[in-house]
């Protein structure tokens, strides 16, 4: 296995996406629930919620979308606005650092508007408190003046629907979580669903891809539509430059070039696994130790890397840390012999 140098930009990393990648992503976004692949349960739930609100001529309940990056949270927020024929305002937790930032947004919403707050768990605490009241009563209290002379002035808001997205639902304070009428937990996509995502994207790109090539990509995209689309783009590039066609051999060559292995593990996934297996003899390893060892934020490890590694059965979470499974040793061609293993398996 190559690619331990860490020098290249990892093209599967959402954080490092270029402008072109983002434009590409936007162009491929499904615009309606019917076009949205997979997540059958969540789709049914959202459909019911939107239809009921339309029948009663009221704003739909507030919606929380939770799940790892790239599974369709932003897309669903746009669909909610589109399907209910309402305007959409987009903001994000990191952009709301003071209650005043939120007050400015809330007080300028038009009646019925959908307000999307991405990464809502990163909003300032003071803004969170303002949001409770806004969600419940469509009202906020604005502080005027400072110190002993400060007074709070109530301000009525237009009714709106908040759609919050988070990769870390567990970090939201309970009062905030409780004020969402519906929480959708997005799951990783299975191979058949990813094939549909890829087939749709290939059609939109005007790319002729063999079925076996699609199957191969779908097995290597971490259960994630965003990565599926990105890998497809790399395959298209490779076909354009080298082979002239998007067949299985092209897929294998392109994905090897970008260091995406047979299970879809990328450089960061592999770095994490290598640390657990070789430096810590299989674990258990604490989250922070792991994050420091690979030079990443522990939030990234917990929200992006770990859910997938757990899902494909390479690690398990225990109260004392992350532990590699026998499948992990096999995948990396290592033997457990000689390595220090946890004595009491939790
Ligand atoms: N269910 C889906 N069907 C088709 N494409 C999808 C689906 N979910 C996500 N995508 C694609 O994946 C990309 C990332 O989705 P996005 O909504 O931005 O994810 P998130 O906000 O959860 O990180 C989008 O470009 C979109 O085209
Ligand atoms: Mg998003």
Q: What is the pLDDT of residue 5?
A: 37
Residue 81 CB neighbour total at 10 angstroms: 21
Mean pLDDT of 241-258: 91
Among 223, 257, 291, where does a domain finish? 257
Whether 111 and 167 share a structural domain? yes
Q: What is the pLDDT of residue 261?
A: 87
Whether 130 and 230 share a structural domain? no
How far is 297 from 342, CA to CA, in rounded Å?
Answer: 25
Query: Tokens in use for 3?
Result: 């690619």
- Residue 137 is assigned to a ligand binding site: yes
Tell me if 2 is assigned to some domain.
Answer: no
Cα radius of gyration rounded to whole Å, the chain = 23
Check if 30 has its Cβ closer than 6 Å to any atom of ligand 1.
yes
Among 185, 206, 229, where does a domain finish? 185
- Rounded percentage of the chain residues whose pLDDT exceeds 90: 74
Q: What is the CATH number of the domain that holds 271?
A: 1.10.10.10
Whether 133 and 163 share a structural domain? yes
Whether 145 and 197 share a structural domain? no
Check if 118 has its Cβ closer than 6 Å to any atom of ligand 1.
no
Phi first, then psi: what are they for 164, rounded to 5°?
A: -105, 145
Query: Tokens in use for 275?
Result: 């640390």
Mean pLDDT rounded to a whole number for the chain: 89
Tell me if 6 is assigned to some domain.
Answer: no
Q: Which domain holds residue 135?
A: 39-185
pLDDT in tens, 70-112: 999 999 999 999 999 999 999 999 999 999 999 999 999 999 9
Check if 72 has its Cβ closer than 6 Å to any atom of ligand 1.
yes
At 294, the pLDDT band (50, 70, 90 cuts) reads very high
Q: What is the pLDDT of residue 338?
A: 47
Going by CA atoms, what residue is nearest to atom 27 of ligand 1? 29
At 17, the pLDDT band (50, 70, 90 cuts) reads low
With tokens 């390595």, the residue in question is 339
Whether 76 and 176 share a structural domain? yes
- Closest atom of ligand 1 to CA, residue 76: 17
Look at the chain and report how many structural domains it folds into: 3
Mean pLDDT of 33-54: 95
Tell me if 27 is assigned to some domain.
Answer: no
Among 153, 185, 217, where does a domain finish? 185
Tell me if 26 is assigned to some domain.
Answer: no
Q: What is the CATH number of the domain that holds 133?
A: 3.40.50.300
How far is 303 from 299, CA to CA, in rounded Å?
Answer: 6
């Amino acid at each position: 296995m190559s690619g331990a140098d860490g020098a290249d930009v990892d093209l599967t990393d959402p954080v490092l996406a270029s402008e072109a990648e983002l434009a590409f992503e936007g162009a491929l976004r499904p615009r309606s629930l019917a076009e949205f692949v997979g997540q059958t349960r969540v789709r049914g739930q959202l459909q019911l919620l939107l239809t009921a609100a339309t029948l009663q001529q009221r704003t739909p309940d507030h919606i929380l979308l939770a799940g790892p990056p790239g599974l369709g949270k932003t897309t669903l927020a746009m669909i909610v606005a589109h399907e209910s024929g309402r305007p959409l305002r987009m903001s994000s937790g990191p952009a709301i650092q003071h209650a005043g930032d939120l007050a400015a947004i809330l007080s300028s919403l038009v009646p019925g508007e959908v307000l999307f707050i991405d990464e809502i768990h990163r909003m300032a605490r003071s803004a969170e408190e303002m949001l409770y009241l806004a969600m419940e009563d469509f009202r906020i209290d604005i502080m005027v003046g400072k110190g002993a002379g400060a007074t709070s002035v109530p301000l009525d808001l237009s009714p709106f629907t908040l759609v919050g997205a988070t990769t870390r639902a567990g970090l939201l304070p309970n009062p905030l979580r409780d004020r969402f009428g519906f929480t959708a937990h997005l799951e990783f996509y299975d191979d058949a669903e990813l094939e549909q995502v890829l087939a749709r994207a290939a059609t939109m790109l005007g790319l002729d891809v063999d079925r076996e090539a699609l199957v191969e990509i779908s097995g290597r995209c971490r259960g994630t539509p965003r990565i599926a689309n990105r890998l497809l783009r790399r395959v298209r590039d490779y076909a354009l430059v080298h082979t002239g066609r998007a067949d299985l051999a092209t897929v294998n060559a392109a994905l090897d070039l970008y260091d995406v292995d047979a299970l879809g593990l990328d450089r960061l996934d592999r770095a994490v696994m290598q640390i657990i297996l070789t430096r810590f003899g299989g674990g258990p390893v604490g989250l922070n130790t792991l994050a420091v060892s690979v030079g990443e934020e522990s939030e990234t490890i917990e929200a992006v890397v770990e859910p997938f590694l757990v899902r494909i059965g390479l690690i398990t979470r225990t109260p004392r840390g992350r532990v590699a499974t026998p499948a992990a040793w096999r995948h990396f061609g290592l033997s457990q012999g000689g390595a220090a293993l946890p004595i009491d398996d939790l």
